[in-house]
Amino acid sequence: MRFFKDFKRFFNYVVFAAKAEINSEVADSFLSWLWWFLDPLLYMFVYSFITVIVFDNKMKAFPVFVFLGLNTWTFFSKTVKSSVKLVAAKKNIVTKVYVPKHMFVLEKIGVYGFKMVVANLLVVITMIGYKVPLTWRFLWIIPITIVLIIVTFGVSTIIMHFGVFVEDLLNVVTVVLQLGFYISGIFYSIETIGTKYGFVTELKGKIDAPYDQLLVKLNPLALLISDLRRVILCNQDPHWVMLLIWTGVGLIASWIGVTIIYKFENSYVKVI
Amino acid sequence: MSDITENAITVSDVKIRYRMFKKISLLKTILAPYKYKKTELFEAVKGVSFEVPKGQILGIVGKNGSGKSTLLKAIAGIFSPDEGTIDLHGHSVSLLSIGVGFQPKLSGRENIYLSGLLLGFSREKINEKIDEIIEFSELGDFIERPVKTYSSGMYSKLAFSITAILETEIMLIDEVLSVGDVKFKKKSYEKMRSLITNTDRTVVIVSHSSETLSSLCDTILWLHDGEVKMQGSCEEVLPKYEEFMS
């Protein structure tokens, strides 16, 4: 398949471009890499304020809980948002040499994925601080992350294609992402999670049944975030069936995205 | 030894249309849907066929807007033809001198790698050539600085050096035979000449200068309004073209 051939040919480019983008950010300002920690840290304080003071809600190891949601969400939303104007942003490459355009999405996934890994050091630090024990279920973060990448790639490629032609897509995407932020359970838990073997034994969900399950299962980000918390904080299995279904949906979305890009990418030059 | 009749470029019945894709706005579409008419079609290249044997130099002439640059970009693979085929028989190709596009925030050195990788070269090959590129570009210490700090002359010097030193089997040259200051112009012209006259390399040059073309090219293709008006040796085509243009 052409996708794999192109992937092999341009893989080195994607890796180098992602690294170079990260390097240039670091070089740009002295403290820029510090912001990769400071951003989630400061936001965590904001959400602590809302949750603990405004809603008077006590939660065990709240920072771990928030970082897991926030870092995952930031990766997804930044990649999707940057995809909207991605082809136009790469204008000086696109008009001069052929590149399969979804390679730019992979580059962004590399950049924001790296930042997510760095920000997740905060999870590790706070886990140590709150003495959250590691269990073998910790390993399930690997399949959960893979599903996250597939879903993000699928959504971003489709958004990138339409972003070329639709001028005000960015406005729409921004609003939808804002909504997504609130319905993905970043500073609260949608469903009730916890087991008696876990560090968190019971955490009440904010949404009543059966809507909590509906919200978690129909929104891949809510699912992934909740599952990350289940495996790390509660020693609880993720929603395996739903993860599998979202892998399928993500792969189909990626296939659709790559197919429309191959079909229309040669017209991009004529529009931007 | 390669077969002398082997073709490097085969272009058959290529048509390239600019579908006048207008950008659309969701808001405007909702508020005033009737304003959006069907997209217009504009055919820039209308069924062009030609072949370039390996090692040959083809010149393309024609007035502005006759489809020369569009055709060249199609050969480079930047956009594919709407009808017909372009077969490069597996040869590597690059558009010379305009570069492959720089990332302004990155240093010159990083951009050399990015351009090289985009052109399909391996890291090793670029490592091998990078000193030569830097030397040829005459940028000195500026190579470590972000490209956004470059003057336009430095920018085009670097662009030229990358595509000239990272040689591809097929080179496409769009007009620009002069880059940078007087000294660099001379040097780049000499370099280009030696690249072009290398017998292994297949070259397509788009130019308005009959002088340049007659001194370099084996055959000439004359495009007029997207169609081939004439094709043949320099002696046959160029005088008629000049007569037509005057």
Count of domains observed in chain A: 1
Is B107 contained in some domain?
A: yes
Q: Say which DSSP state A53 is in.
A: I
Q: Which residues in chain B (21-60) have CB-CB distances under 8 A to chain A?
A: 21, 23-27
Please determine, for residue B93, whether its predicted confidence score (pLDDT) is greater than 70. yes
- In a structure prediction context, what are the per-residue pLDDT tens digits for chain A, which is 272 residues long? 788 988 988 999 999 999 988 888 887 766 777 888 888 889 888 888 887 777 666 778 888 999 999 999 999 999 999 999 999 998 888 888 888 999 999 999 999 999 999 999 989 999 999 999 988 999 999 999 999 999 999 999 999 999 998 888 999 999 999 999 999 988 888 988 888 888 888 888 888 888 889 888 999 999 999 999 999 999 999 999 999 999 999 999 999 999 999 988 877 877 76
CA–CA dist A89, B135 (Å, integer)? 30
Whole-number pLDDT of residue B21: 63
Q: Say which DSSP state A90 is in.
A: T
Is B75 contained in some domain?
A: yes
Is B189 contained in some domain?
A: yes
Count of domains observed in chain B: 1
Is B1 contained in some domain?
A: no
Are B216 and B57 in contact by the 8 Å Cβ rule? The answer is: yes
- Cβ of residue A7 closer than 8 Å to a chain B Cβ: no
Are A192 and A202 in contact by the 8 Å Cβ rule? The answer is: yes
Is B221 contained in some domain?
A: yes
- Cβ of residue B228 closer than 8 Å to a chain A Cβ: no
- Domain extent, residue A44, equals 2-271
- Domain extent, residue B44, equals 7-245
The two tokens of residue A267 are 């017209």
Whole-number pLDDT of residue B34: 61
Closest CA to A153 of A24, A1, A3, A265: A3
- Cβ of residue A28 closer than 8 Å to a chain B Cβ: yes
- Cβ of residue A15 closer than 8 Å to a chain B Cβ: no
| Residue in B with minimal Cα distance to A167 | B25
Instruction: Indicate the pLDDT class of residue B99, thresholds 50, 70 and 90.
Output: low
Asked if A17 and B103 come within 8 Å (Cβ–Cβ), the reply is yes
pLDDT, tens digit (0-9, with 9 covering 90-100), for B137-168: 888 899 999 888 988 888 888 888 888 888 88
Are B106 and B150 in contact by the 8 Å Cβ rule? The answer is: no
Are B29 and B97 in contact by the 8 Å Cβ rule? The answer is: no
Q: Whole-structure pTM over 0.95, yes or no? A: no
More confident residue, A65 or B120: A65
SS3 call for B84? strand
The separation between the first and the last C-alpha atoms of chain A, rounded to the nearest angstrom, is 28
Residue B177 sits in a domain whose CATH number is: 3.40.50.300
Closest CB to A12: pick one of B76, B94, B123. B123
Is B21 contained in some domain?
A: yes
**Helical segments of chain A, H only:** 2-28, 32-48, 62-84, 86-89, 91-94, 102-119, 121-129, 141-165, 169-183, 211-218, 220-233, 240-271
pLDDT, tens digit (0-9, with 9 covering 90-100), for B210-233: 888 888 888 999 998 888 888 888
